[in-house]
Amino acid sequence: MQVYGGPFANSPPDHFPSNTSSSAGIFSTHIPYQILGETLNSSDCRVAYVARNPKDTLISLWHFATSMYLGQKREPQPLEDIVSKFCEGSVIFGPYFDHVLGYQKVSLERPKKFFFITYEELKSDPNIHVKRLAEFLGCPFVGEDTEEQVEEVVRSCSIETLKKHEVNNSSVVPSWTVVSNKSLFRKGLVGDHMNYLTKDMIERIDAITMHKFHGVNLWRENWM
């Protein structure tokens, strides 16, 4: 939205450089591989994709949608409605399971270009996976203080640290969106869906997960 304008942007943000010749840029997106694949495959970029437990993803989506509706002074959607739409694949950025599988499959085919990892793996051992990511990006940690460098990156990128930054703790809604930056940083916990979803909801989502990810070695250990 910030790069291309969109319905909520009045003008391109002033903090994006006008010179796009640098190859060191970072672009964050939720666009599925099914749409973005041709562009990615024809470029020299490397892609890091983080997949999260579908139930935690759903709860995160629900809280985000609630913030958006409240910001527009509209009645938030009940959790039951979000669960139904999630299971039907009728959610923003497309069906969750197709989204994950798109990047997961291409990461197996082209591991030097696509780095696929789960949020749960990152949380379980951030130091190990930050090292892996650095190597994938072609900028591995070097020197005698390697471990200290890794620790600093992990600390700086933790949700606890990010939530303390003034820009991320603001309730001001930027001109290019409908929610404040503060609404993007909540708990970041693994398994928080247990505090919201009913047994029936969990069983429904797990059944779809087993069906959609049948034969895919990514969900059983972390997501059930």
Q: Which tokens go with 173?
A: 């809604």
Arithmetic mean of pLDDT, 92-108:
94
Sequence-separated (6 or more) residues with CB below 8 Å from residue 36: 29
Catalytic, out of 30, 63, 99, 214: 30
Cβ neighbours for 5, distance < 8 A, ≥ 6 positions apart: 11, 12
Q: Which long-range contacts (CB under 8 A, 24 or more apart) does 76-80 make?
A: 79/196, 79/197, 79/201, 80/201
Each residue's pLDDT tens digit, 116-159: 999 999 999 999 999 999 999 999 999 999 999 999 999 999 99
Query: Two tokens at 219?
Result: 């969900």
63: annotated active-site residue: no
pTM here is 0.85
Spell out the alpha helix ranges (H) of the chain. Answer: 33-41, 54-71, 79-88, 96-109, 119-124, 126-136, 146-157, 159-164, 199-212, 220-223
The whole-angstrom separation of Cα 131 and Cα 13 is 32
Closest C-alpha to 61, from 100, 34, 96? 96
Joined tokens for residue 55? 């139930």
**pLDDT cut 90: percent of the chain above it:** 63
Query: Tens digits of per-residue pLDDT, 202-221?
Result: 999 999 999 999 888 766 65
